[in-house]
Amino acid sequence: MRSLKFLVRLDDITPYMDRERFDKVRSVLDKYGICPMIGMVPDCRDKSIYGNDGSSYSDEEYRALINELTSSGWIVAMHGTNHVYSTEDAGLLGINPFSEFAGTSYEVQYTKLKQGRDILHRLGIQTDLFMAPGHSFDENTLKALKDLGFRAITDGLYHKPYLRESILFIPCTLVAYDKMHGLDTICLHTNNMTDKDISDLEKFISRHKGAAIRYNEDDLRVAAVNYSETVAMAESAALKMRSQKDRIANSPKLGAFLADTDHPNTVIKWLKRLALSPVLLTRKYGKQ
Ligand SMILES: [Zn+2]
Give the angle subtended at the CA of 19 by the CAs of 13 and 23, to the nearest 5°: 90
CA of 164 to the centre of ligand 1 (A): 23
- Residue-level pLDDT at 274: 76
pLDDT of residue 197: 97
Ligand 1 centre from 266 Cα, in Å? Answer: 37
For 88, list phi and psi in degrees, rounded to 5: -110, 35
Query: What pLDDT does 173 receive?
Result: 95
Q: Radius of gyration of the chain from Cα atoms? A: 20
CA of 133 to the centre of ligand 1 (A): 5
Q: Please list the ranges in the chain whose pLDDT falls under 50.
A: 286-288
The predicted-structure confidence for 162-179, as pLDDT tens digits, reads as follows 999 999 999 999 999 999
* Per-domain residue ranges of the chain: 5-227, 251-281
| CATH code assigned to 5-227 | 3.20.20.370
Taking the centre of ligand 1 as the mean of its atom positions, its distance from the CA of residue 228, in whole angstroms, is 28
Cα of 283 vs centre of ligand 1, distance in Å, is 38
Strand residue runs (E) in the chain: 5-13, 37-40, 75-78, 129-130, 152-153, 162-164, 167-169, 183-188, 225-226
pLDDT of residue 169: 98
**pLDDT given at position 268:** 77
54 CA → ligand 1 middle, Å: 18
Q: What is the pLDDT of residue 157?
A: 96
Q: What is the pLDDT of residues 228-279, one digit of tens each?
A: 999 999 999 999 988 777 666 556 666 666 667 777 667 777 777 777 776 6
- What pLDDT shows up at residue 250? 59
Q: What is the CA(188)–ligand 1 centre distance, in A?
A: 10
